[in-house]
Amino acid sequence: MAAAPVRQRSGPGGQRAQLPPCYYEGYLEKRGPKEKASRRLWTCLCGNSLYFFNNAKDTHYVEKLDLSGFVSLKDDCSRDRNLEAARLILQMKDGETKLTAPNLESRELWKGFLYSVIDLNVPSYLTLLPGQLQMLQEVVDKERARRRSRNPARAPPSPLSVPLVGEIPPCFRPVSRTEAEVLLERHPDCGNMLLRPGRDGCSLAVTTRQDLNGSVFRHYRVTQRDQGGYVIDVENPIPCATLHEVIDALVEKTAGTLQPFLLEEPYEENITYVSANDENGERILHTAPSSPLPRAPALPPKQGFSPLSRSPAPDRRILTSPVPASPSNPMRRLILSPSPLTQTLNEELKMKLEKRRASQE
């Protein structure tokens, strides 16, 4: 029997009737951290927990797995005796649980429902149909309402609702736990540690990724102290004055193995704008010309003062203009003392004129 969206049962009393609302159910093969063989169990996702029954008609569950200790969820590509089966590895704080779905489509749906309940957000990176995404959104809304009714004094958990104060490190990303893992795995060259909002909406978290025969993710809670500053909630808490010191402390504790995640966002190379066509009203995207802007025209120089303007080229006819008769004037001596070449040309012209006059007479 394949997994399917839940139709609420109205059977006789028992443990099933006392469970949180069931969002998804179906048969899965399960093998826990201490189990040597897999068992085929009817699995129900009720609230924030997985409940396992021997079959679909049982009212008393045989095992419960609380998802509050969730660490990661990834595909298991190892072969199964059933070639159509698709495996999952559910990593919890207390160990690893292996789940096997009947087929790839069923596995993708289980991942979608699990991520929706854990992160209270519909995952956008799974291969699902629009109708299936709508089902996940309804599950998110129901689970938020359920948690709000259980904790009326607190705001509903949201991975993006934490208030940030002070200077924020550049490795901060407003993403959920799952989205942080996807970012770190897709861009390993950009760093392996990012700061993000905590799942409870009241704290922060640091997600790290390292490679040990595959991706190994770790998540560290960072809470704000009443007296100011922050603390990394580990076995021996690490106090920090600022969020920058939180990141620096993790880099220092790991001898530089952990590095802040810095993803360079792409920027546009051209300026574009949208305008409407005057004839048919159709809106078209245009690219602005990339030629440099024209320079502003220069202001006219002030009258009587032009320090940068060039003096006009000297007019050779100035040599024939009258010059003061002072014998000490150097220009007079320059003009009245022609060069030898000039004297020769003048004599030749005189001789030609005299010959022409003699021939005319």
Tens digits of residue pLDDT in 79-112: 767 777 889 999 988 889 999 999 999 999 999 9
User: Which residues are paired to 194 by β-bridges?
Assistant: 207
194 and 125 within one domain: no
With respect to residue 14, please indicate whether it lies within any of the assigned structural domains.
Answer: no
Share of the chain above pLDDT 90, in %: 36
Share of the chain above pLDDT 70, in %: 75
Q: Is the pLDDT of residue 353 over 70?
A: yes
Is residue 132 domain-shared with residue 196, that is, in the same domain? no
Last residue of a domain, which of 209, 227, 254?
A: 254
DSSP 3-state of 319 = helix
Looking at the fold, whether 70 and 138 belong to one and the same domain comes out as yes
Residue 260 DSSP class: B
Examine the domain organization and report whether 45 and 138 are in the same domain.
Answer: yes
pLDDT value, residue 9: 47
Q: How many domains does the chain have?
A: 2
Return the structure tokens found at 143: 């689970």
Examine residue 78 and state whether it is found in any structural domain, yes or no.
Answer: yes
Instruction: Tell me the C-alpha distance between 215 and 22, whole Å.
Output: 31
pLDDT in tens, 200-224: 777 899 999 999 888 899 999 999 8
The full length of the chain comes to: 361
Domain residues for 187?
177-254
52 lies in a domain? yes
The answer to whether residues 110 and 32 belong to one domain is yes
Q: Are residues 117 and 26 in the same domain?
A: yes
Give the CATH number of the domain where residue 59 resides.
Answer: 2.30.29.30
**Greatest Cα pair distance in the chain:** 153
In a domain? residue 337 = no
Q: Residues 99, 191: one domain?
A: no
- The CA distance from 282 to 135, in Å, is 37
Clarify whether residues 146 and 52 are in a common domain. Answer: yes
